[in-house]
Amino acid sequence: MSAAGPILEVEAIQAFYGTIQALKGVTLQVNQGEIVTLIGANGAGKSTTLRTINGLMHPKAGKIRFEGQDITTTPPHQIVAMGISQSPEGRKLFPRMSVTENLEMGAFQRKDKENFKDDTERVFEYFPRLYERRTQKAGTMSGGEQQMCAIGRALMARPKLLMLDEPSMGLAPVFIEKIFEIVVQINKDGTPVLLVEQNALMALDVANRGYVLETGRVALEGPAAELKVNDRVRKTYLGEG
Ligand code: ATP
């Protein structure tokens, strides 16, 4: 596979909750080296798209390929082992465990436990604040610190693709900026990122390309810089007009 080739290919996936069709044929791609953002209003299907990729849900139609391998019906634990790791919406940390213990949980599927220390140190380099708080119970930290811990935990699996579901949710602007800066750094260090966001402006600032999801369909796609100046995007998602 070439260095700039696709790492993730989602092809015309359809997904349902009972009889409710959440995805009506979503196609998207993440290439090596990229930050790709998936933006859209509440209920557009962003989280459902991530759920079908990480295997928590299987699409009724369509295909998902990771590094060229079909993962459409692969179970979630195998998908993590293959190299897709997600920091979930709402963070979902273990609140009574310390920061270090939460990070350890992110590495639990890995066989090479001897690298645990190096990986923890790498997470602490991205997030010095987590090092200061390493013995603190995760549930007692601020929202921004918990978000850092959730991203750090996802990194502990040494992902080949990092998926982030609304990392800016509920955070103060200064934390949002910090977190996006670190996402850019993680990407520069070699990890492609699929970033789901309602905060379209911030997401399009850091992404290479973007997809705009509307009621289960991709309504627009293109280079992030183009989407940012697109009239429809500006009116609908950037609060202009
Ligand atoms: P949000 O930002 O609110 O998470 P989203 O773009 O991620 O929005 P999804 O959560 O993927 O949207 O939801 C897509 C559609 O599927 C919506 O119509 C939603 O109501 C529906 N849906 C999501 N989860 C469920 C569920 N567990 N049961 C039934 N319907 C669901």
Q: What is the pLDDT of residues 153-192, one digit of tens each?
A: 999 988 999 999 999 888 888 889 999 999 999 999 999 9
Position in ligand 1 atom list of the atom nearest CA 213: 6
pLDDT at 235 over 50: yes
Nearest-CA residue for ligand 1 atom 31 is 17
Query: What is the per-residue pLDDT for 110?
Result: 67
Mean pLDDT of 31-40: 96
- As a whole number of angstroms, the distance between CA 99 and CA 152 comes to 10
Cα angle, residue 180 at apex, residues 229 and 87 outer, rounded to 5°: 115
- As a whole number of angstroms, the distance between CA 73 and CA 5 comes to 23
> How far is the CA of 237 from the CAs of 39, 51, 152, 204, 229, in angstroms?
9, 23, 29, 11, 11
Query: What is the per-residue pLDDT for 204?
Result: 94
Read off the pLDDT band of 20 (50, 70, 90): very high
- The answer to whether 6 and 173 have CB atoms below 8 angstroms apart is no
Select from 14, 16, 17 the residue to mutate for testing ligand 1; criterion: most ligand atoms less than 8 Å from CB: 17
- The answer to whether 153 and 120 have CB atoms below 8 angstroms apart is no
Residue for token digits 């800066």?
181
Nearest-CA residue for ligand 1 atom 1 is 42
Query: What is the per-residue pLDDT for 116?
Result: 81
Bigger pLDDT: 68 vs 241: 68
Q: What are phi and psi of 222, to 5 degrees?
A: 160, 180
In the structure encoding, which two tokens stand for residue 70, read together? Answer: 């079909």
48 CA from centroid of ligand 1 (Å): 6
Q: In 3-state terms, what secondary structure has residue 43? A: coil
**Residue 102 CA from chain centroid, whole number:** 18
Q: What is the pLDDT of residues 110-131, one digit of tens each?
A: 666 677 888 999 999 999 999 9
Nearest one of 175, 194, 184, 191 to 36, comparing CA atoms: 194
- As a whole number of angstroms, the distance between CA 129 and CA 201 comes to 26
Q: What is the pLDDT of residues 197-234, one digit of tens each?
A: 988 888 999 999 999 999 999 999 999 999 999 988 88
117 CA from centroid of ligand 1 (Å): 38
Question: How many C-beta neighbours within 10 Å does residue 49 have?
Answer: 30
Mean pLDDT of 31-44: 94
List ligand 1's pocket residues with C-beta within 6 A.
17, 20, 22, 40, 42-48, 198
The greatest distance separating any two alpha carbons of the chain, rounded to the nearest whole angstrom, comes to 55
Query: What is the per-residue pLDDT for 1?
Result: 43
Read off the pLDDT band of 241 (50, 70, 90): low
Number of H helices, E strands in the chain: 10, 10
Read off the pLDDT band of 2 (50, 70, 90): very low
Q: Which domains does the chain have, with CATH numbers?
A: 1-83+159-241 (3.40.50.300), 91-158 (no CATH)
What is 107-122 written as a DSSP string? TTT-S-GGGHHHHHHH
Q: What is the pLDDT of residues 61-112, one digit of tens each?
A: 999 999 999 999 999 999 999 999 998 776 789 999 999 999 988 887 666 6
